[in-house]
Amino acid sequence: MTHKISAAGLALVQRFEGFSAEPAQLPDGNWVVGHGHVRVGEPGAPVGHDEAASLLVADVAPVEHLVNISVTRALTQSQFDALVSFAISIGAEAFGQSQVLRRVNAGEFVAAACAMDAWRKSDVSGELAIVDVLVRRRAAEKAMFLDDVSVEAAPSPFLRAKLDYAASILGAPISYAPAPAVGSIAVVQAQPEPTQRLTEILKSEPATEALLLTQPVGDDFIEGEEEIATAHAKPVARPLDGVREATRRAYATQQDAQPKGVWNLFKREDGQSVFAAQPEIKVDRRIRELRTKPDTAPRFVLPARFDNVGLVALTVFGVVLVAIGALLAFNGQSIDFLAGGAVAAPGLAAAGIGGYGLWRAAPEAANA
């Protein structure tokens, strides 16, 4: 069954919506006139009581349709009028999600009427507060909604009422906020987006604005030998001397963590043999320039470490063997020549191994 609001329902709405002949501005910048009629943009001309009543009927029509399609239970006229007034007050979206509508569709009319009391707060000057006019409107709508609901007699001596502590806490606020006069709340100015506001603040400083306008630098861009560019905005110049020093220190730290010995002489840091075939590696031009620049540090420096002392001893031992072999070979006899060669060969191997090890360790000592 399709309902339409009655004269009593319209009177209830008119009573709490009030009447304003002159347009009053709303906080969102629009205008309200008559019995809560909203004009978007321009305030328009004043209205009389008859025009205000006509505007109210036009505004109530979509709310009547909303209540008719949302409620699945049969309603009396007073229940329909109360729900229309309630929906106008809280808005169509809130009405569709309210506990009131769910209770009505469940057939729990008393619970639905009690649920109306929850909608008594509003935003007053930026704060959510219980407003006295909303308390009164909810009471009137609740009474109208329950007007046609049958009630059973219950003598007080038989059914004495007791205090509901939850209801006493919820229903007894410290104070009620009076309803503000229409047009007394200032229009809320639109605030810019946070990112837009931050950009405006940053651009207020000339140096910061210049930094914001800096174009990114590509990976293959090299501005000069005195600085290194990245894919991000141009960084602070970093001299190449500092880069060299940092690279040397990192390499020396890595080498110190690995044991040095004769068996590791022919192994790289990754464990592969130095004689293994090496893949072609593309080296950045800046790194290649660092490697090809002449190094002014002394090339051969003996590091004062125990493992390198062993290399020195191995080299000396090899040289001694070579000398002994040479002395034996120069005696002129064939047997002595063969004996000298047998002694000199291990000496050459020992001297070569020790010399190569010292040659590898010399750059570390120079960079340390």
For this structure, is 209 an active site residue?
no
Taking the CA atoms of residue 255, residue 258, residue 270 and residue 293 in that order, the dihedral angle to the nearest 10 degrees is: 10
Both structure tokens of 118: 């929850």
pLDDT digits (tens, 9 = 90+) for 129-174: 899 999 999 999 999 999 988 888 888 888 888 887 776 666 665 5
Of 17, 64, 141, 364, the active-site residue reads 17
Measured CA to CA, the distance from residue 87 to residue 101 in angstroms comes to 10
Mean pLDDT, range 246-260, rounded to an integer: 68
Mean pLDDT, range 55-69, rounded to an integer: 96
Cα-Cα-Cα-Cα dihedral sign, residues 298, 301, 303, 304: negative
Measured CA to CA, the distance from residue 66 to residue 64 in angstroms comes to 5
Q: Which of 311, 289, 305, 298 is nearest to 358 (CA)?
A: 311
Would you call 182 exposed, middle or buried from its count of C-beta atoms within 10 A (0-12, 13-18, 19+)?
A: middle
In the chain, where the domains are located:
7-150+164-171, 194-238, 241-367
DSSP E strand stretches across the chain: 20-25, 31-34, 37-39, 121-124, 127-130
CB contact at 8 A, 67 and 91 = no
Task: Supply the pLDDT for residue 280.
Answer: 53
Length of the chain: 368
pLDDT averaged over every residue in the chain:
76
**CATH number for the segment(s) 7-150+164-171:** 1.10.530.40
